[in-house]
Amino acid sequence: MEAFSTQIRNIFSKSKTDRVYVLGKGASLGKIAKSQLEDGVVININDSERFYAGDIALVHSLWAYQSIKENGFKASYYISDKQMPDSVPSMQVSYFPDTYETTESYLFSAHGEELFISDFLFLSAIRLGVVMAKELNKKLDIYFLGFDFGSDSNTTLIEDYSGHSQQFRDAVLRTQEDTFIRIKSYIETDVPSINLLHVGRKPYSDISVGLFNQGNFSDFAEHKSNNDLYLGVKEKIFAGIPMVVAELTNNHIGDEKRLRTMIRMAKDEGADIIKVQRRDVDSFYSEAELAKPYKSPFGNTLGHYRRSVELTDDLFKVLIDECRKNEIFWFTSVLDKNSYEYILQYNLPLIKLPSTISNHRNYLKHVADTFDGDIVVSTGFTDKEYEEFVLNEFTTNNRLLYLLQCTSSYPAPPDACNIAVIRHYNEIRHERFPNIIPGYSSHDVGALASQMAISAGALMIEKHVKLGNLDWVHFDSVALDITKGELRQFVDDVKKATIICGEKEKKVHAKEHHKYVPNDKSN
């Protein structure tokens, strides 16, 4: 076999960009805008040409061959270990069985046969990308779309022709996912010739489907500023549309990759706003508190842990960058004066003063006097006296004051949620201070209290989120796990409550009709 097929070289050479799109068959592929695939090389895995006929198709299994044959061989070129019909442009290559120990060395070797077909065809696609990056002497961005690896495995975009049981398919998909994660990690550190980018809702995903469809996932794409995004948030609030805030707390644990993943997944799960926290650890806590025993990867004291899970200067840059790329507004709680002075450099139009500092009156007054933007105040573990303090201090200018009912209990039991307070905040808004925005900071379990908060007039709903559990992290019993789709379900429930509430004006709805047709002559 010649060094490489001229046909394949020509396909890659004609591409408008350095992008390669590898198409699987997961349900998420059906959400991809096909127009976004037109600027790069499209590689079909098995019979994914039934969704979009690409430039190159990789085929191994007999069932996939039969499906493609039935579909009429729609891809431009085929690479397979099977003999294709003479009328079909194709290249026949060797079959290479995947083994855990040898995959990396063979995939990225500069020696040996240049192409192969593996049981896991995404490995063949990666090898093709490696070879073409070398041939063309340029770096390629390889996007994997529709690789859900068993998420909602009963719902696939294309009918499965393999004949395998669901249990068998799930086992194969789990093995494929493990291999994919391992290879992706290896590429990030050891293979500079390609970028491997997963599009989807996985913790290891690089881009959400929504962001991919917008076509602005490039680092050089134009994006709205954080202040412009906040204007969009306010427009929705003024239109009576509640906003869901994904409160990351310190569940990013000071890790860049984890922070980016949480932001991306929260946006994809339907959150409208990202919130983080900022505290100056050494002034916020006492020396005695910081010296308490606490085992973590960072050391043996609470101080070691707390200092390590805070957002650093570099992580704030990451936060800004990822929120910008995903076009989601972000703001932060500022728990002390040092943090407040620090955060001013970012010119935020909104900050939060959380319940935990309700007794720090001098600091709160300082913020009220010096901050020009809007402010969120949550009212956990406070009473009427604090309410009057907040109203007196934070309504003296034209700012918006988001007043969030909150119960400082984790988790808050149903009898402690006290959603009726939100109706009270609405009364204050209508009778005394029109710039108040009522809301709810949820520490309860589930969505019911937040749904009731919507019915009481809440226009901001804040909910803790996390990226799975770590045994050394302060356990957050009220946080929604975005790896399990819990935030998406919560957002759907909140939106359902908004729909059910409807409008204040009483009028005949289009769906209404009388159950019976009465006799008009009867009175």
Cβ contacts of residue 427 below 8 Å, gap of 6+?
none
Domains contained in the chain, CATH given: 6-214 (no CATH), 242-501 (3.20.20.70)
Cβ contacts of residue 322 below 8 Å, gap of 6+?
259, 260, 263, 264
Compute and round to an integer the Cα radius of gyration of the chain.
Answer: 28
Q: 328: which strand partners?
A: none
Q: How many CA atoms lie within 13 A of 496 on its CB side?
A: 10
Cite the DSSP H helix spans in 42-140: 62-71, 103-107, 121-136
Report the distance separating Cα 322 and Cα 259, nearest Å: 9
Report the distance separating Cα 355 and Cα 404, nearest Å: 10
pLDDT, one tens digit for every residue, the chain (523 residues): 454 578 888 999 888 889 999 999 999 999 999 999 999 999 999 999 999 999 999 999 899 999 999 999 999 999 999 999 999 999 999 888 776 666 666 677 654 557 889 889 999 999 999 989 988 899 999 999 999 997 654 456 566 666 678 788 888 888 899 999 999 999 999 899 999 999 999 989 999 998 899 886 666 567 899 999 999 999 999 999 999 999 999 999 999 999 999 999 999 999 999 999 999 999 999 999 999 999 999 999 999 999 999 999 999 999 999 999 999 999 999 999 999 999 999 999 999 999 999 999 999 999 999 999 999 999 999 999 999 999 999 998 899 999 999 999 999 999 999 999 999 999 999 999 999 999 999 999 999 999 999 999 999 999 999 999 888 887 788 999 999 999 999 999 999 999 999 988 999 999 998 888 888 776 6
What is the per-residue pLDDT for 516? 87
DSSP 350-406: EEEE-GGGTT-HHHHHHHHHH--SEEEEE-TT--HHHHHHHHHHHSSSS--EEEEEE
The helix/strand/coil state of 85 is coil
Strands 140-145 and 90-92: unpaired
What pTM was estimated for this model as a whole? 0.85
What is the per-residue pLDDT for 89? 94
What is the per-residue pLDDT for 153? 44
What is the side-by-side order of every strand in the sheet holding 56-59? 90-92, 78-80, 56-59, 41-45, 19-23, 140-145, 194-199
The CA angle 371-374-379, to the nearest 5 degrees, is 100
Phi, psi for residue 76 in degrees, rounded to 5: -75, -30
Report the distance separating Cα 516 and Cα 292, nearest Å: 72
